Structure 1
Amino acid sequence: MKVLKTIGLAMAGLIFLIVIISFFLPGSYHVERTIIVQTDASLPFTLTKDFREWDKWLPWHKLDTTMAKTYSEEQGVEGSWYTWNSQNPEAGKGKVTILKLVENEYIENEMAFDGMGTTIATFTFEPAEGGTKVLWALDGNGKGMPWYWLIPSKYFNLMMDRMVGKDFEKGLAKLKEVCETMPKPEQVAGFDIEERVMESVKLAGIREKIKTADMNSNLFGKWFGQVSQEMQKQKLIPNGAPRTIYYQYGSKQVEVEAAIPVAEIGHSKEVVKFHEMPGMNVLVVKYYGDYNKVESVYIAAYDYIKAKGKASTGAPMEIYITDPGMEKDTAKWLTEIVFPLD
């Protein structure tokens, strides 16, 4: 009995000591690694902002190549997300959401691990000699973690750099390899292009026929404001970047819609209507610059499509990836000009 009592007291003392020591340990951790990629920032930025591209370079996806993954309808914008669910306990399950995105400069993701709280992962892209410096960082402080993990997490904080750092190095090395061996994208009017499958998207928008001369950014700003107000009234969540869709375009009159993607179809009103745009094959021109200087891009894109033996008779659209309210330099405004392919 005396032996058991002694062991019990020793265990209690050890637990007490572990708890006391934990008060003096760091309550957060920071891990970061960098690499130089010998391309401009647009390529590594694209491969990190679009979660569908993570299979090409993220080492944790290799832990279980059959894990279930789901993606938000629109990728590469603030609010985009993906979830994973693996039977492999090393991979587990969780969700990643883009919180902040500055085109070709910065990405901030929230990573939520099932039952284990959240962390913040960031990617920073800076010009460097020979290409682009990519910095991948991870920061955590026990937010959302179950109470019984708070003390053990203090000890894990001391080991996070060793535990995660090597995977960061592997991931960045693979990202560098993919970027530097990837064929350079074709261009139209000096801007990168790509063909892709655009998934169906639910939209809230205002569609009207107006005089071509009356079409300007102030009008579209007013329409987007009205759409946002109606979404708020119906408690609908935005699910992508705002866009304008040009159903008819003439020298005197244009039929155009200013629309915002939504997670769910709402109730159409007199002005704001809800509908679902079907999925389609598209050509996307990644245009940087002032909204009022896109005419030459349209002409060049239609010439390119014709030269490829294809046709585009559907309604083109402009998806405004960069928020002008957040970025004042028009040269950094990214607009995806989308041409449906027949």
Structure 2
Amino acid sequence: MTRVLELLVSLLIVTVLVVVVGVLLPSHGHVERSVEVSSPVRQIFDSVNTLRRFPEWSPERRLDPQLHMEFSGTRIGKGAKVDWSGNESVGKGSLEIVNSDEDSQVKMDVTNDFAGTNKTYTITLKPAENAKTTRIHWAYDVDYGWDLKARYAGLYIHGKPDATLQTALANMSAMLASFPNVDYKDQDIQVTEVTGVPLLVLSTKAPRTLDEVEEATSQAVARIEAVMAKAGLKQAGPVRTITTNWGDDNYVYDVAIPVDASRFTLEGATYEITAPVVSEVVEELADNETAPVLKLGDHDEDGNLVIEDGVHARISYTGQALMTEYTGSPAALPLLRLQEKAYAETHGYLYSEMNGGRFWDEVSATSEEGGNTYKVYLPVEP
């Protein structure tokens, strides 16, 4: 009986000690890590102010490459949310942006299997004095309250929670390094809906000088206008320049003119301009080195209707696109394209520079002084 009492007293003492120590442990946990990057501040802010880039920087995806994610709420800023579910190492969780201060800070509510409640990420951006680099501070905060088990778990905040921050920062740094390193904060880039129109198109190229590009464009426009006259078509919009490849020495591109009808008659037959559709027959022709010369009414390897003199026809891209306007020299157009590409990357928009996904620009206005106003488009997917 005495030994039983001694055991009970010992257990009581241990329990009291556990409770006393637990009460004395912190009721709040905080851990913070940082990394320095050379990306523009606006790029960094936009990348964390949308959760569409979560698949790239997510620490959870490292533990489960098949992580299932669902986005909801707004696309950017307060209300943007992602829910995930994965294997046993990841479990279920979510992130939701609850506050953001442009180019300065983004705060997210965190739901996961870590101990505690009121879990948050606070990402703070601090540009260096030389303005060439920015330090990203990533903090994790959690409340344990009077949950003594959670308070003891807080002793290991420098375990998995700390590792999670470090992985997120490393992934974020690598992701930012893959973006075009251009600052677009002073360029108004918008998401717009564009509707496809019938185009007559001619592929061309020129050395990368303004004069030679202008000359090649003028020649291409003249050839397209000659075909338009034969087909009884009229111009129905500004000339478009569709970029294929901005190379080191040469600029490869298409010149396109919108026309007023999708149906025309030429050489006694009527033809319909449609959106490009690459059929199996067209794909076989593209892969066949001895493919026959295409003639009027055929379709090329991109699904465009062949007319004559190198001029093809198609319905242009329909869907979402990034658009920005610029007034000045066309020498700035390559930079604008890079800015739109960087904007698409940081905001999580998918794009492809193949066929219908290629950049195009057009002159929207010409001033009396001779300067042009350009609109530059990049097709994107939501």
TM-score, length basis structure 2: 0.48
For 1:296 and 1:19, how far apart are their aligned partners in 2? 71
For 1:194 and 1:69, how far apart are their aligned partners in 2? 26
Alignment check: 8 A CA contact 2:42 2:183 kept: no
Tell me which residue corresponds to 1:84.
Answer: 84
For 1:65 and 1:155, how far apart are their aligned partners in 2? 31
For the structure 1 residues 341 and 160, does the alpha-carbon distance in structure 2 shift closer, same or farther, using more than 3 Å as the test?
closer
Once the two structures are TM-superposed, the CA of residue 123 in structure 1 deviates from its matched residue by: 0.4
For 1:170 and 1:194, how far apart are their aligned partners in 2? 32
Once the two structures are TM-superposed, the CA of residue 85 in structure 1 deviates from its matched residue by: 1.8
Secondary structure at 1:183 match in 2: coil
Alignment-mate amino acid for residue 123 of structure 2: F
Tell me which residue corresponds to 2:123.
Answer: 123
Alignment-mate amino acid for residue 93 of structure 2: G
Secondary structure at 1:161 match in 2: coil
For the structure 1 residues 35 and 84, does the alpha-carbon distance in structure 2 shift closer, same or farther, using more than 3 Å as the test?
same
Once the two structures are TM-superposed, the CA of residue 37 in structure 1 deviates from its matched residue by: 0.6
For 1:31 and 1:85, how far apart are their aligned partners in 2? 24
Alignment check: 8 A CA contact 1:186 1:192 kept: no
Alignment-mate amino acid for residue 95 of structure 2: V
> Which one is further off, 92-101 or 2-11?
2-11
Once the two structures are TM-superposed, the CA of residue 51 in structure 1 deviates from its matched residue by: 1.5
Tell me which residue corresponds to 2:249.
Answer: none
Is it true that 1:111 corresponds to 2:106 in the alignment? no
1:111-190 matched pairs, under 5 angstroms = 111-113=110-112, 117-128=117-128, 129=130, 130-142=132-144, 150-184=147-181
For 2:183 and 2:13, how far apart are their aligned partners in 1? 68
Question: How many residues end up aligned between the 2 structures?
Answer: 221
Q: Deviation string for 1:76-98 (max 9, x for gaps)?
A: 2211111112231x322122211
Alignment-mate amino acid for residue 187 of structure 2: F
Output the aligned Cα RMSD. Answer: 4.3
Secondary structure at 1:83 match in 2: strand
Alignment check: 8 A CA contact 1:94 1:113 kept: yes
Q: Deviation string for 1:29-77 (max 9, x for gaps)?
A: 1110111111111222222222121221222221122232111153222
Tell me which residue corresponds to 1:30.
Answer: 30
TM-score, length basis structure 1: 0.53
For structure 1, the residue ranges without an aligned partner over 5 or more in a row are: 199-279, 288-293, 313-336
Alignment check: 8 A CA contact 2:359 2:379 kept: no
Once the two structures are TM-superposed, the CA of residue 153 in structure 1 deviates from its matched residue by: 1.4
Once the two structures are TM-superposed, the CA of residue 194 in structure 1 deviates from its matched residue by: 8.7
Once the two structures are TM-superposed, the CA of residue 100 in structure 1 deviates from its matched residue by: 0.5
Alignment check: 8 A CA contact 1:95 1:113 kept: yes
Percent sequence identity over matched residues?
20
Is it true that 1:191 corresponds to 2:190 in the alignment? no
Alignment check: 8 A CA contact 1:33 1:135 kept: yes
Tell me which residue corresponds to 1:63.
Answer: 63
For 2:190 and 2:53, how far apart are their aligned partners in 1? 14
For 2:116 and 2:188, how far apart are their aligned partners in 1? 40
For 1:309 and 1:79, how far apart are their aligned partners in 2? 31
Alignment-mate amino acid for residue 102 of structure 1: D
Alignment check: 8 A CA contact 2:121 2:139 kept: yes
Q: Deviation string for 1:284-324 (max 9, x for gaps)?
A: 35x8xxxxxx8969xx99x9899x57699xxxxxxxxxxxx
Q: Deviation string for 1:116-143 (max 9, x for gaps)?
A: 6331111011211431110000111136
For the structure 1 residues 169 and 192, does the alpha-carbon distance in structure 2 shift closer, same or farther, using more than 3 Å as the test?
farther
Alignment check: 8 A CA contact 1:32 1:136 kept: yes
Question: Larger Cα Rg: Structure 1 or Structure 2?
Answer: 2
Alignment-mate amino acid for residue 142 of structure 2: G
For 1:57 and 1:37, how far apart are their aligned partners in 2? 15
Alignment-mate amino acid for residue 156 of structure 1: A
